[in-house]
């Protein structure tokens, strides 16, 4: 048995309940942990003064021990066209509307964060945040709630798309993407769940959502090294959003041996 697997099994049997919470407003990230699991969420607005900036507001990465499960592909490509693609919202593990970026400096549209909070909740740790990047274009706010259960065996998310009544384009489709690390293999199950396996890790994971779920290809850059990987894609039609006021995508990553 590998050392990491032994540690995970020991923590699972002892019911380890430690948590680490950290909010770094100056760096624009929220970090929280439980058991062997760690989540880092982008809670900062894009910096237009930076040479390379990504439009991944509220994107997150999810690590288990020393392994990454959910990632953002990175921005280290040297090809300008590929670099622009990697900076886009759809190249991050977050929500996009109608294929548009959550920020667009050429339209003077930059996502601003509000209501960023993190703290203990019943059974785990909860982080919440809102951005208004799609309000000028679609009259939409994106609220993201991330809940990590005590012990780290369950990460649940809620993405709420709220129509504010502001003018703009009529939204058609919300897409929530989860880019997977190259060491993770994914397979669709018949009931729309996704079975995940981290190479070298005995425990598997299962992804599920309340919306239509598919698998697609993706890319990951580790420094200069380009690697192929997969992504989970969740689609939610927004045709009735203005009539009903809001729409919600719920999803979860659950370790196969978690309760």
Full pLDDT tens readout for the chain, 259 residues? 333 344 344 334 334 444 556 655 455 899 999 999 999 999 988 876 655 578 999 999 999 999 999 999 876 667 778 888 889 999 999 999 999 999 999 898 999 999 999 999 999 999 999 999 999 999 999 999 999 999 999 999 999 999 999 999 999 999 999 999 999 999 999 899 999 999 988 889 999 999 999 999 999 988 778 899 999 999 999 999 999 999 999 999 999 875 4
Q: What pLDDT is attached to residue 211?
A: 98
Q: Find the CATH number of the domain harbouring 113.
A: 2.70.98.70
Give how many domains the chain has, as a whole number. 1
* Residue ranges making up the domain that contains 62: 3-255
Q: What pLDDT is attached to residue 247?
A: 98
Angle at 131 between CA 126 and CA 133, to 5 degrees: 155
Strand 67-71 with 204-209, pairing: unpaired
In sequence order, the β-bridge partners of residue 173 are 237
Measured torsion, CA atoms of residues 84, 87, 90, 93, in degrees rounded to the nearest 10: 160
Q: How far apart are CA 183 and CA 170, in angstroms?
A: 39
Residues, the chain, total?
259
Q: What pLDDT is attached to residue 51?
A: 54
Note whether 125 and 18 are within 8 A (CB): no
Q: What pLDDT is attached to residue 179?
A: 98
Note whether 44 and 54 are within 8 A (CB): no
Q: How many CB atoms lie within 10 A of CB 104?
A: 17
Q: What pLDDT is attached to residue 8?
A: 43
The number of C-alpha atoms within 13 Å of 81 and in the hemisphere containing its C-beta is 0
Q: How far apart are CA 149 and CA 245, in angstroms?
A: 30
Angle at 53 between CA 160 and CA 33, to 5 degrees: 55
Q: How far apart are CA 49 and CA 72, in angstroms?
A: 21
Q: What pLDDT is attached to residue 7?
A: 37
Q: What pLDDT is attached to residue 14?
A: 35
Q: How far apart are CA 84 and CA 13, in angstroms?
A: 46
């Amino acid at each position: 048995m590998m050392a990491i697997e032994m540690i995970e099994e020991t923590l699972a049997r002892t019911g380890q309940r430690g948590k680490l919470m950290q909010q770094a407003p100056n760096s624009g990230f929220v970090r929280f942990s439980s058991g062997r699991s760690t989540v880092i969420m982008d809670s900062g607005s894009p910096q237009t003064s930076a040479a390379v900036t990504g439009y991944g507001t509220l994107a997150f990465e999810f690590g288990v021990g020393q392994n990454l499960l959910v990632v953002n592909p990175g921005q280290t490509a040297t090809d300008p066209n590929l670099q622009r693609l990697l900076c886009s919202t759809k190249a991050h593990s977050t929500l996009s509307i109608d294929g548009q970026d959550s920020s667009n400096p050429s339209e003077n549209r930059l996502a601003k964060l509000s209501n960023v909070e993190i703290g203990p909740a019943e059974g785990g740790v909860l982080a919440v945040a809102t951005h208004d990047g799609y309000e000028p274009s679609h009259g939409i706010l994106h609220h993201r709630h991330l809940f990590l259960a005590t012990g780290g065996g369950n990460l649940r998310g809620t993405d709420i798309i709220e129509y504010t009544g502001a003018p703009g384009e009529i939204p058609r489709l919300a897409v929530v993407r989860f880019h997977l690390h190259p060491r993770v293999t994914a397979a669709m199950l018949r009931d729309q769940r996704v079975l995940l396996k981290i190479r070298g890790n005995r425990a598997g994971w299962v992804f599920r959502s309340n919306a239509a779920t598919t698998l697609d290809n993706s890319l990951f850059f580790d420094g200069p090294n380009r690697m192929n990987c997969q992504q989970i894609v969740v689609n939610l039609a927004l045709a009735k959003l203005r009539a009903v006021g809001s729409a919600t995508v719920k999803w979860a990553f659950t370790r196969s041996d978690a309760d």
